[in-house]
Homo-oligomer: A and B are copies of this chain.
Amino acid sequence: MKFLALAAALLLAPPLAAEPTGALGLVVERANGSLLVVDQGKRASLGRITGLGDLSHASLVYSPDQRFAYVFGRDGGLTKVDILAREVVNRVMQAGNSIGGAISDDGTLVAVSNYEPGGVRVFDAGTLEMVADIPAESKTVGLVDIPGRRFVFSLWDKGETWIADFSGDEPEITRIPGMGENPYDALVTANGRTYIAGLFGADHLSALDLWEDEPQPRAILDGYAEERDKLPVYKMPHLEGWALTGEEFVLPAVGQHEVLWVDARDFTETGRTKTHGQPIFAIARPDGRQVWVNFAPPDNDTLQVIDTATKEVIHELKPGPGVLHMEFTPRGHEVWVSVRDAGKVVVYDTQTLEPLREIEADNPSGIFFTARAHRLGL
């Protein structure tokens, strides 16, 4: 009877099926507090994970093995989900209002950037126990991982960037003042070397070379919107969406209908491309040959595709109302686009620019493929 009971238990709750994780992804369903588990190869959703709280403006990072995702909710919740089991395995309310996070290069630490009460909190990736609290007395933005169990983030209220080094027994903090007024977001290049902060209170950006022993802020694109009509800014662009095409960055211009091209080596401007509206994300296809751009309201039903070689718009798409995010397959042959108000994700072939499939989703926003587990600086 024991045998039978065990067998019955096995039949009733079968072990998880063997499932490779390389081509999976998660789509944030912002209104419902849920995540759609998707498969790039099948171009389909496989299931849904619920109970994640307020997921407006949510983002996530992956464990190195791609089994777990750490989801940063706007409500201050840090939720760990098991993609294979399709369930929440742990959830802590770590702050009142959080803005994003990162995972250390060795996968052991998860850091969260907070508006309320400000500062950064760092958690054990296994247990979600807090291992460090870095108050900072400021809202923090632009939190990224860099090599050596380090995180970099910026202080909105103080115009500083801090490097938190967790390679030793105690965290060591390096403070870099003089970044400029009100950094509102930042990015680091894919090799973890160049950190660039966007400034709300200044008409330039600030860059740091993190390979220097004592990194010094350097103003770049000074006066980039000078002598231009300032349009009302409907939504600040996402700097993490900045594209690096190999030799150039492509930046969404704040409050302008254009993207800016910048030499990745000396930060001089190399061109501007007029766009359909105020760009939010300008994301390079992984090979850098195309840059896909979406826009702030009221132009957020449109996508434009720019050819990197000519810097010209080569195609315009109308996926539907509320185009919020794009994510390329890791080698760039397809791109997934979330269309919030149409309740769908649309998959495009990036060579033919034709739609291949629509996948139903509830108010989809961010799309995150598991290949992110293997990238620095997210």
Question: Which residue numbers of A lie inside 8 Å of B, CB to CB?
Answer: 3-4, 6-8, 10-11, 14-23, 40-41, 62-67, 83-85, 105-107, 145-149, 167, 189, 191-193, 211, 245-247, 265, 285-289, 309, 329-334, 351, 370-371, 373-376
Contact = CB atoms under 8 A, between A and B. Distances in A.
Contacts of A145: 331
Closest 8 CB pairs of A and B: A7-B7, A22-B66, A16-B18, A330-B374, A20-B67, A23-B65, A371-B374, A105-B331
Nearest to A371: B374
A305 to B, nearest CB: 14
A41 B65 contact: yes
Contact of A22 (B6, B8, B21): B21
Q: How many copies does the complex hold?
A: 2
Given A192-B287, A374-B331, A375-B331, A84 B211 contact: no
Contacts of A15: 14-15, 17-18
A22 B64 contact: yes
A307 to B, nearest CB: 10
B20 A66 contact: yes
In the complex, which of the residues A8, A64, A265 has the most CB atoms of chain B within 10 Å of its own CB atom? A64
In the complex, which of the residues A3, A8, A211 has the most CB atoms of chain B within 10 Å of its own CB atom? A211
26 contacts: A3-B7, A4-B7, A7-B8, A14-B15, A15-B15, A15-B18, A17-B18, A18-B19, A18-B85, A20-B66, A21-B21, A21-B65, A40-B64, A106-B334, A147-B287, A147-B289, A148-B333, A149-B333, A193-B287, A211-B309, A286-B376, A287-B376, A330-B374, A331-B374, A371-B374, A374-B374
Contacts of A10: 7, 10-11, 14
Contact of A18 (B84, B246, B331, B370): B84
Contacts of A146: 287
A196 B183 CA distance: 41
Contact of A4 (B4, B23, B192, B245): B4
A149 to B, nearest CB: 8
A334 B19 CA distance: 26
Given A22-B66, A191-B287, 12 more contacts: A7-B7, A7-B10, A10-B10, A16-B17, A17-B18, A18-B85, A22-B62, A23-B65, A64-B329, A148-B351, A191-B246, A331-B374
Contacts of A41: 64-65, 107
Contacts of A3: 7, 11
Contacts of A330: 64, 373-375
Contacts of A11: 3, 6-7, 10
Given A147-B333, A211-B289, A287-B376, A65 B22 contact: yes
